[in-house]
Amino acid sequence: MANKLNLLIMGPAGSGKGTQSEKIVEKFDVVHLSTGDMFRAAISNQTEAGKKASEFIDQGLLVPDEITIALVEERLMQADVQEKGYLLDGFPRTIGQAEALSQLLAKIQMPLNLIIDLKVDEKLLVERISGRRMCEVCGTIYHITYNPPAVSGVCDLDGGKLYQRSDDNEAGLKVRLAEYNKSTAPIIGYYGDSVEVIEVDASQTVDQVFASIDTKLESLLND
């Protein structure tokens, strides 16, 4: 029986990973370890890793693994993770990062107990991605059709301005999808039988997708 949920959620851009993560965190009170949020926090707090990361981000470059891993390690060591369990979102992105993560998790003795793998077809991804808007303050994700804010262009939570990522278009999506299929999807194979994987059809509605995840998480906790 799992007394804590130690989770990894995977899925390409537009699979609804961010939205499902928010719902999981809300219901199961695990710590959301999103690399996007961790980078935003580290950069605005001007931590060592944050300063290093922003040098790369400002130039439009990928942040090197060692900086990302240092950031994740720093966060995993904090007390709330030990207390509540975690949901990794956006990390690991490569098998190299997955190997580093295995070492970090062994160190804190909190191995993964489930991978949630969101599957969705490419055409639907294009539609989802091109309508996506993100709050520049808190990073909350909206969709102009499926999940619009109360006031167009403005975050419901903090009044922050919503922006569209410059690569949230069909061409940008194709590049990210190819990268995902090449580098990130093989992570499932890396874990092999050592971690349970649940595949969820993410072309369903947000509530249907969450219902599948919810049932699985409840059974993990009550097994």
Active site residues: 17, 93, 132, 165, 176
Residue 147 is which amino acid?
N
CB 64 within 8 A of CB 100: no
Q: With respect to Zn ion, which residue has the nearer C-beta, 138 or 221?
A: 138
Residue 46, helix vs strand vs coil: coil
CA distances, 202 to each of 1, 13, 52 (Å): 27, 12, 35
End-to-end CA distance of the chain: 5
Nearest one of 183, 189, 36, 180 to 119, comparing CA atoms: 180
The smaller minimum CB distance to Zn ion, of residues 64 and 159, is found at: 159
Distance in Å, CB of 212 to Zn ion, minimum = 28
Separation of alpha carbons 129 and 6, rounded Å? 28
CA distances for 135 relative to 40, 57, 141, 219, angstroms: 12, 18, 7, 34
**Amino acid identity for residue 123 in this structure:** K
Comparing CA positions, the residue from 220, 16, 197 lying closest to residue 121 is 16
Residues of this chain that interact with Zn ion (CB under 5 A) are 135, 137-138, 140, 155, 157-158, 160
CB of 98 or CB of 162, closer to Zn ion: 162
Whole-angstrom distance, CA of residue 59 vs CA of residue 41: 19
* Residue number with CB closer to Zn ion (62 or 138): 138
> Which is closer to Zn ion, CB of 36 or CB of 84?
36
CB of 25 to Zn ion, least distance (A): 16
Q: In whole angstroms, how close is the CB of 131 to Zn ion at the nearest point?
A: 17
Q: What is d(CA 36, CA 203) in angstroms, rounded to the nearest whole number? A: 23
In whole angstroms, how close is the CB of 161 to Zn ion at the nearest point? 9
- 110-111-115 Cα angle (round to 5): 130
User: Taking the complex as a whole, how short is the minimal distance between the CB of residue 94 and Zn ion, in angstroms?
Assistant: 29
